[in-house]
Amino acid sequence: IAEYVSGSGVLKTLNLDANELDLPKLRGTDPVESLDLSRKSLGPASAIVIASLIAGNAVLTTVDLTCNTICGIDVDGAGEYDASGIVALADALKVNGVLTSLELWDNKIGDEGAAALASALRVNRVLTTLKLGHNNIRAEGAAAIAEALRGNGVLTNLDIEINDIGPGGAEAIAEALQGNEVLKSLNLWDNSIGDEGAKALASALRVNGVLTSLDVGFNSLTEEAALGIIRVERQRNKLTSLGLARC
């Protein structure tokens, strides 16, 4: 289907997963820069078609796929995991040269999906915002993203809220932050990072001079762990936004 759609110059709509995809906008023949495909129950097949069109799109800068089922799992956790859609989107990011913002909030991409996106981040030179909240990402997926951050020179906004990366995932990201010179905003709200994760982030802040927004709220931090971040930031004086709510 993706091959047919990519090669067709006349097809204007395609109905998959009970939703019509606007093909001119996805191709870039309709000059819109932002496309909202959120909450449309789009599954793996739709994601593959979308990816095939995004790959060659020279117009779209923002795509929102929030709250879909691109990996076959719905919001209630029902369904069978299928990574083909997220892998296709990651492959599209490797060749697309204009997309700057991708929102994938609540698509249950898991560690496999996070690893696929991480591989794209290693070569992508335009994406500045990536939102991956509520996606069943654990320490393994966070570690893959962290490794990609070491070599990525463009991503400025990374949102991984409401996942379960744990202390290990936070430590991996913190280590990457020590050498990253572009990421400005990091959201780790509700990730079970604990005190060990908070301590690692505090250590990273000592040497990182670019991060201006950090949210580690709802992570079961002790007062001492939260104060550790605050003490470092008092000396660093770079953050314009620090989230410690319900720690």
Q: 81-109: per-residue pLDDT in tens? A: 999 999 999 999 999 999 999 999 999 99
CATH architecture of 2-243: Alpha-Beta Horseshoe (3.80)
Domain ranges of the chain: 2-243
Q: Is the pLDDT of residue 17 over 50?
A: no
* Token representation of residue 112: 């496999």
Task: Fill in the DSSP letter of residue 138.
Answer: B
Angle at 30 between CA 24 and CA 35, to 5 degrees: 80
β-bridge pairing 213-215 and 241-243: parallel
pTM above 0.85, yes or no: yes
Taking only the tens place, the pLDDT of each residue in 196-222 is 999 999 999 999 999 999 999 999 999
